[in-house]
A and B are shown apart, each in its own frame.
Chain A
């Protein structure tokens, strides 16, 4: 079966790839653009390891038909840091020991970014709700929740620096 062209913005850059009929966004990003920061976990929408932002909204790339992203903006962990400067969420995850095996980390970071983008000062319950679709089998979640709350405090400084 022939592949179809697909154009979208990937971490702020215009991107064109070819996708198969029925191919999911996770496969297209990993296989066609080489962005392997998003992970294949369950392929069933249950684990959150493949979480991305599409036009600023949180989505699971394994549950997203790639061709529906034509003309849209897709953000992944690959675009989170500003060159050598880590995003406050990445720094907070590092300092709070929020990654062990690291497989969930990419999805957790993107779910956390989606939260902080719309709610810069979340409560603990807000954080628990925001990562409710992301599974971590190592940390017991507490270091992740603490890191996101920690990052919320640092983020305003980081945004000011990027401007």
Chain B
């Protein structure tokens, strides 16, 4: 089925076009929308694109980094300022996919895709939405909660906090086939320490719910404790609290619950995915 493709040079024009028609989708890199079009998805007939170069910019300030929603995983991996995110970007597809898969698009990927979004969740991410005539920012968790109810939003950028220290951020992906297959699950953690104790822990999963989620039970169990065998065991005991993994061709919900504590333990003990 042919589609109408509308390309705009300004993000605001694209956002207006997106919000003013119902049967439209926004295309960033194309990994989600091209797939839908190849399958003849008839739930939309118009594709909105933007060639605005600001969409792929990476800007730094003292405490935070703003990543344009159109920045690709390959761009993230080429950025020395985003070295801590290289392992999470590397978890997305193979080299060809990483050349088109965008940071903004990853926010819309359905689990078990969306590994990169778990990493953003632990870095206190906020999402800039260029919707209609007025843009606004919202916390990533809030955005994920409403993304399916409000599909006509154009994400223009994602702002993240820098990790407290280079080893405070950790990321681990578990897939059955390496190096580039769907996740059974992935786990991201930001574990700042003060006086040898965890202070402000943030843990997030991809693959353990409909969208990437934070895991407050694990965060609470680690708070104020040293990262030792006892605290890690306590964290693993509540690893699946608040999760609702689904069953898909990669793994059953039971299997995901079984392996989540195993991989959480490995992550907390320092094992991470390779950095490319």
Contact = CB atoms under 8 A, between A and B. Distances in A.
B30 A65 contact: yes
Given A20-B2, A64-B100, A67-B5, A130 B34 contact: no
Interface in A8-55: 20-24, 43-45, 48, 51
Q: Is the interface of B mostly helix, strand, loop or mixed?
A: loop
Interface stretch (B91-99, B157-165, B235-243, B251-259): B91-99
A57 B3 CA distance: 26
B94 A128 contact: no
Interface stretch (B8-16, B35-43, B59-67, B262-270): B35-43
Nearest to B3: A22
A119 B3 CA distance: 39
B2 A22 contact: yes
A48 B94 contact: yes
A132 B4 contact: no
Interface in B22-76: 27, 30-31, 34-35, 37-39, 47, 49
B276 interface: yes
A1 interface: yes
Interface residues of A, number: 29
Given A63-B100, A129-B276, A130-B95, A22 B180 contact: no
Contact of B94 (A20, A43, A57, A133): A133
Contacts of B178: 132
Contact of B95 (A1, A64, A65, A132): A132
A58 B179 contact: no
A130 B1 CA distance: 34
Closest 10 A/B residue pairs (Cβ) = A133-B94, A22-B3, A132-B180, A43-B38, A1-B2, A132-B179, A132-B94, A20-B2, A21-B2, A58-B96
Given A24-B37, A59-B100, A133-B93, 6 more contacts: A20-B2, A21-B2, A22-B5, A45-B34, A67-B5, A132-B180
